[in-house]
């Protein structure tokens, strides 16, 4: 018993139409063939080509990407050219880091407003939390508001647990204190960078910037070296 299948008839009709169109195009002028291709196949071809390019780009990025992060910093509420890599490149050269094998970056596209209820602040916080979870964020530089927020979130180290004695003595008058909680005592979590000429060459802040060290940094030695580099 032959069961009627509407879809089968439609598929046959479509196949017959395509075969009929191809038969008509045989011997047709090149211009007519090009017009037919443009009408029926151009969009699909462009879509497939774009998808192929995207796949190749992603694969290339994965293959050629640095294997690890030697140093990563987020500069909150900074102003200037966010595409300028001069400070990061200078630090990589200072540390003799091969950037083909290890990444060195400073991201100054993150913002944190006082109310923290805007889209930019929310996305910046989510981005920071994601990178911190990997251990690949070493330093946060920002104004007092940003530093206070990340101190309350317990993302920042006590400076006395990070810096050696000679650096604590060097920056003793520049320590920034913040409370990790309402009932907690203030602890030194940052170094004020208001007089740092090298930083001011590349970035500007509305209020005095403060450098802090992320509590689970995988490259804390490089983070400390970055502070040295800023005042080299």
Of all residues in the chain, the percent with pLDDT exceeding 90 is 56
In a domain, 51, yes or no: yes
- Does 22 map to a domain? yes
Instruction: State whether 19 and 79 are in the same domain.
Output: no
Residue 80 shares a structural domain with residue 25: no
Q: In this structure, are 29 and 78 located in the same domain?
A: no
Helix, strand, or coil (residue 152): helix
Residues 27, 128 within the same domain: no
Helix, strand, or coil (residue 203): coil
**Using CA atoms, how far apart are residues 47 and 51, in angstroms rounded to an integer?**
6
Please tell me whether residues 115 and 38 are part of one structural domain: no
DSSP string spanning 9-62?
Answer: HHHHHHHHHHHHHHHHHTT--HHHHHHHHHHHTHHHHHHHHHHHHHHHHHHHHH
The residue segments making up the domain with residue 16 are: 6-63
Whether 1 maps to a domain, the answer reads no
pLDDT in tens, 221-231: 999 999 999 99
Domain count, the chain: 2
Q: For residue range 206-215, list pLDDT tens digits in order.
A: 899 999 999 9
132-181 pLDDT per residue, tens? 999 999 999 999 999 999 999 999 999 999 999 999 999 999 999 999 88
User: Are residues 205 and 131 both part of a single domain?
Assistant: yes
CATH number for the domain harbouring residue 113: 3.40.190
Whether residue 128 contacts residue 137, with contact meaning beta carbons closer than 8 Å, is answered with: yes
Tell me: do 51 and 156 sit in the same domain. no
**Segment 174-208, tens digit of pLDDT:** 999 999 888 889 999 999 999 999 999 999 998 99
């Amino acid at each position: 018993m032959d069961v009627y299948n509407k879809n089968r008839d439609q598929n046959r009709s479509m196949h017959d139409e395509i075969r009929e169109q191809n038969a008509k195009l045989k011997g047709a002028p090149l211009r007519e063939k090009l017009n037919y291709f443009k009408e029926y196949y151009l969009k699909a071809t462009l879509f497939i080509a774009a998808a192929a390019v995207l796949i190749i780009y992603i694969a290339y990025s994965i293959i050629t990407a640095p294997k690890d992060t030697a140093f990563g910093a987020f500069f909150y509420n900074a102003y200037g050219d966010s595409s300028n890599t001069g400070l990061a490149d200078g630090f990589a050269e200072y540390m003799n880091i091969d950037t083909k094998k290890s990444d060195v970056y400073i991201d100054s596209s993150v913002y944190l407003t006082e109310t923290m209820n805007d889209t930019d602040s929310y996305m910046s916080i989510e981005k920071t939390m994601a990178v911190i979870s990997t251990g690949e964020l070493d330093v946060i530089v920002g104004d007092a508001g940003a530093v206070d927020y990340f101190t309350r979130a317990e993302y920042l180290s006590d400076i006395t647990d990070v810096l050696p004695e000679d650096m604590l003595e060097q920056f003793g008058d520049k320590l920034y204190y913040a409370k990790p909680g309402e009932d907690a005592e203030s602890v030194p979590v940052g170094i004020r960078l208001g007089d740092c000429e090298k930083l001011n060459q590349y970035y500007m802040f509305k209020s005095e910037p403060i450098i802090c060290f992320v509590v689970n940094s995988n490259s804390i030695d490089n983070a400390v070296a970055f502070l040295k580099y800023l005042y080299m």
